Each structure stands twice: as structure tokens, then as C-alpha cells.
Structure 1
Amino acid sequence: MGKFAKIGFKAELLRPASPKGASWAFLVVPASASAKLPTRSMTTVDGALDGHPFRATLEPDGKGSHWLKVPRAMREAVGANVGDIVALEIMPAAEEPEPRVPGELRKALAAAPEARAQWSSLTPVARRDWIRWITSAKKAETRERRIANACSMLASGKRRVCCFDRSGIYGKGLGAPEPAG
């Protein structure tokens, strides 16, 4: 699969502090394993958790590494519990999947033919960056303003969101969940 070899490591399954009672767990990818990935930002991987195959998108942890959300079904498939050390093998996916476009953005693009044409010409990673920039806003008004700005920028030929920190290192918007006590 391309120029990347399988990356093997072990990590502890952690319970997120929030939301309370979450059924999922997560793990932080060791920096040495994360450094072998093609980017510090979101990246889709094919892998195996204790031999159980999966495809998932690793999120940036805001510290130069990544974290992985482990749904209850995946944890149960391998008989692992929070606190257990699990073995992983991951490899960057050959192709990034299409991101899910939020309804408000989909409507705005439908009403703006020039922006929609530019959107259609972007890679899935670039589209994901636009979506992440829009959805990272905490307030509805800010998200609405970012959607309008995105349509304007796309219509003018812009392909990337300026100054968006895809790794979370320079801002506070991206990071691994806080582990429960």
C-alpha cells in the first residue's frame, strides 16, 4: 500500500471525562508512531486493534500526535476494557473518504454555483478542512458567518482555509479528550 509501512504500537484504552457515562473509549497514539504518519492533522487509517480490522480517522491531539476514538462495539469485539493495553497496527488509508457535509453548508453551496463548482474540484482532505473550520465554531452565529465567508472565498477561487491550524498545536480547538479521573 503506497510508500507507508504498517505502524505497530501499544496504547492504553482511556475513558473520556466528558460526556459523563460515554460508552466509547479512546487512546492516544504514541508520538513515535504518529511521527510516521503523513500529517499531524486528521488522517484516515486502515488498521487492526488486537487483530480486529477497522478503518477510522485519527484526530490531532493538539500536541503533535493523534488520538483514536474506540467505539464500544470495537472494544467488545476484542474483549478489551478501559484501562487495558491494546496492540494496534495502522497504515494510512490509500484514499481519504468523502467527509459528511453539514446541512447548512450543503444548502449554502447549492445556492452559490461558483462556490459549489470550486467545492467540487477540491480533494476530500481540503473539503474536510473547510468543514472542520466551520464546525469548530462554538456559536451558531459564528458558524453561519463562516459558511458565508467560505462560500465567498470558494467563489473567488480559494482552495484552502487560510490560517486554519490542522494539527491543533497552535490553537485550542483540536485535542484529545480529557481522560476520566
Structure 2
Amino acid sequence: MPYRGLLTRMGAPNHILIILKSIREKIGKTFGDKVKITVELDTEPRVLELPKELVKELKKDKEAKIIFDKLAYTHRREYVLWINEAKKEETRQNRIVKSIEMLKKGKKAR
């Protein structure tokens, strides 16, 4: 099952690879279980599709856009996932507004 993630140094010479819960569930594993993996160098840029409404709000608020653009890919992804997981349009819009506020206060999504 292809997965794109990051190896994180956990003290020399150890590294960990955090695997999404959705993938662990598909392969029947839980946090702490051992899995066999193949690691390949990934040089492709990570592209994140932003919700159109978020793009619109970020264009209106230059400070929030600068902050958002400086975030690591994983932190930007958390904002996008949080917005996209909203079941109701009203909730989605509220999360977009809240995201702009949180960005300006230096808070992470979720």
C-alpha cells in the first residue's frame, strides 16, 4: 500500500515513521505494532489542494496567508482536513473563519 510520509529522528540512530490511523486500520495494525516497509527517496514536491473558500479568505487577509504559507506541509494539511471534514456547509464556513483567526494567533488546527 503506497504511503507518503516522513521519517522522524527519535534520537541517534533511531527514526520513526508515523502511519495514518486510516492506513493502520486497513492493514490491521495499531500504534506500536511492527510493520515491514520499503523506503524510497521521494523528491516530488508535496502538493496540497486548498478548499476554494479558504483560498478566497487567504487572499483577503494577507497576514494570514503569509503565516499559512510558512507552515510546514503537515500543519497546512491539518487545516485543510479540519475544514474538509465538516459535514455541514455552515460548519465548513465557520471553520474557515476560525482558521484565519487561529493562524493569526499562532495556533495549530485541531
CA distance in 1, matches of 2:68, 2:16: 26
Deviation per CA, 1:21-53, whole angstroms, max 9, x where unpaired?
Answer: xxxxxxxxxxxxxxx962133xxxxxxxxxxxx
Alpha-carbon spacing, 1:107–1:126, altered in 2? closer, same or farther (3 Å): same
Q: Specify which of 66, 69, 93 is matched with residue 120 of structure 1.
A: 69
Q: Distance in 2 between matches of 1:92 and 1:133?
A: 29
Paired letter, 1:114 = E
How far 1:156 sits from its partner (Å)? 1.8
**Aligned-CA RMSD value:** 3.2
Number of the residue aligned with 1:149: 98
- For these two proteins, the number of residue pairs brought into alignment is 90
Q: Match for 1:130 among 76, 79, 84?
A: 79
C-alpha distance 142-92 of structure 1, shift in aligned 2 (>3 A):
farther
Q: Tell me the TM-score normalized by structure 1.
A: 0.42
Q: Secondary structure at the match of 2:39?
A: strand
Counterpart Cα distance in 2 of 1:147 and 1:104:
7
Counterpart mapping for 1:1-181 below 5 A: 38-41=17-20, 60-61=21-22, 65=24, 67=26, 90-91=38-39, 94=42, 97-158=46-107, 160-161=108-109, 164=110
Shift of 1:157: 2.1
1:90 deviates by 4.3
CA 1:144–1:92 in 2, change beyond 3 Å: closer, same or farther?
Answer: farther
More helix by share: 2
Q: Which has the higher contact order (CA 8 A, sep 6+)?
A: 1
Q: Which runs of 5+ in 2 are unaligned?
A: 1-5, 9-14, 28-36
More strand by share: 1
